C-alpha cells in the first residue's frame, strides 16, 4: 500500500524543496495550494500547477483563504470587516504577520489528509528565517500533532513533516540542487508576476540563498543585487 502525504505548496522555493524531500522519502504527494488575495496570486498558482505537472502530481486542491488576509488587516483597520466583501475587492495583501496562519494551513491540510487517507502532511516552515513567527517553531508543530491525534478518527494517524525547518536559505538551495528540483518553475517575488523584481523581501531572501550557495538562480530578475 502506498503512503500519501498532503504537502502545502505555495510555489516558492521552500515548499518546493519540502515537496522534493518528502517525495524522496517515498510518499505519493497530494498538493495543496492557498490563494489569499496576494498581489501575485495568479503567478503563484501558475507555479503550483507547473511544479505539480513536473512531478506528475494529479491530486491537487486549491483553497481560498482570503479571510486570513482580511483578519490580518482588520487588526490595523476595521475589526468588523466582512470577509466576503474583502474577498471581492482585495488586490494586495498586507505585509504584516497573519496571526496563527500556519495553524489554519495545518487544519485544512489535516482535513484533506484524513479525507484522503494520507499519513502525513508537509509544510515548508523555516525556523531560522521566521524568527518572531511563533507558528514556525518545532514545539508548535509537535503540539499540533497532538491535536491531530486527538481530533481525528481513532484509526487516523498523521505526522507533520517539516524537512527544511532547520535549514538556512543557502542550505535549501543546495539540497534542492541535490534533489534536482525545478527551481526555474518556482516563484518567490511578492511584487511582480512577469520577471522577479529582485528587490522585495522575498526576492532578497531567495537571491541571498542562491548567492551564498554559489549557485545561479535560473529565474530572470529585473535587477539582481548582491545580497550574500
Contact residues: a second copy, CB under 8 A: 30, 58-64, 67-68, 71-72, 74-75, 79-84, 87, 98-104, 106-108, 110-112, 114-117, 134-135, 137, 139-140, 143-144, 146-148, 150-154, 156
Rounded distance, CA 153 to CA 187, Å?
A: 37
Instruction: Name the minimum Å distance from CB 62 to a second copy.
Output: 6
**161 backbone dihedrals φ, ψ, rounded to 5°:** -105, 125
The whole-angstrom separation of Cα 97 and Cα 63 is 20
Cβ of 96: how many Cβ atoms within 10 Å? 11
CB of 89 to a second copy, least distance (A): 15
Main-chain dihedrals φ then ψ at residue 224, nearest 5 degrees: -130, 75
We find the least distance from the C-beta atom of residue 219 to a second copy, in angstroms, to be 27
Nearest to 210 by CA among 185, 175, 180, 165: 175
DSSP helix/strand/coil, 73: helix
135 or 217: whose CB is closer to a second copy? 135
Nearer to a second copy, 134 or 228 (CB): 134
Q: How far is the CB of 188 from a second copy (least distance, A)?
A: 24
Cell 486570513 locates to: 68
Rounded (5°) CA angle 15-16-17: 90
Comparison of 112 and 227: residue with beta carbon closer to a second copy: 112
| CB closer to a second copy, 46 vs 199 | 46
Shortest separation between residue 143's beta carbon and a second copy, angstroms: 5
**CB of 141: closest distance to a second copy in angstroms?**
9
Residue closer to a second copy (CB basis): 66 or 185: 66
- In Å, how far are 42, 45, 169, 224 from 62, measured between CA atoms? 12, 8, 26, 32
Q: Do 210 and 198 meet the contact criterion of CB atoms below 8 Å apart?
A: no
Closest CA to 109 of 220, 5, 20, 222: 5
Closer of 142 and 228 to a second copy (Cβ): 142
Amino acid at each position: 500500500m502506498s503512503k500519501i502525504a498532503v504537502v502545502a505548496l505555495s510555489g516558492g522555493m521552500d515548499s518546493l524543496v519540502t515537496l522534493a524531500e518528502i517525495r524522496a522519502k517515498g510518499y505519493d504527494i497530494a498538493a495543496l495550494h492557498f490563494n489569499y488575495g496576494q498581489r501575485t496570486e495568479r503567478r503563484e498558482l501558475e507555479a503550483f500547477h507547473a511544479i505539480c505537472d513536473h512531478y506528475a502530481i494529479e491530486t491537487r486542491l486549491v483553497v481560498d483563504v482570503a479571510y486570513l488576509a482580511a483578519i490580518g488587516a482588520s487588526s490595523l483597520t476595521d475589526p468588523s470587516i466582512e470577509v466576503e466583501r474583502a474577498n471581492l475587492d482585495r488586490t494586495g495583501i498586507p505585509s504584516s504577520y497573519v496571526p496563527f496562519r500556519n495553524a489554519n494551513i495545518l487544519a485544512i491540510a489535516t482535513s484533506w489528509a484524513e479525507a484522503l487517507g494520507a499519513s502525513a502532511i508537509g509544510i515548508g516552515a523555516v525556523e531560522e528565517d521566521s524568527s518572531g513567527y511563533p507558528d514556525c517553531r518545532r514545539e508548535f508543530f509537535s503540539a499540533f500533532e497532538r491535536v491531530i491525534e486527538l481530533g481525528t478518527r481513532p484509526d487516523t494517524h498523521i505526522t507533520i513533516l517539516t524537512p527544511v525547518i532547520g535549514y538556512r536559505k543557502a542550505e535549501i538551495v543546495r539540497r534542492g540542487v541535490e534533489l534536482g528540483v525545478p527551481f526555474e518553475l518556482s516563484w518567490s517575488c511578492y511584487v511582480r508576476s512577469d520577471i522577479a523584481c529582485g528587490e522585495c523581501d522575498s526576492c532578497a531572501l531567495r537571491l541571498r540563498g542562491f548567492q551564498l550557495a554559489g549557485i545561479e538562480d535560473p529565474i530572470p530578475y529585473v535587477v539582481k543585487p548582491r545580497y550574500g
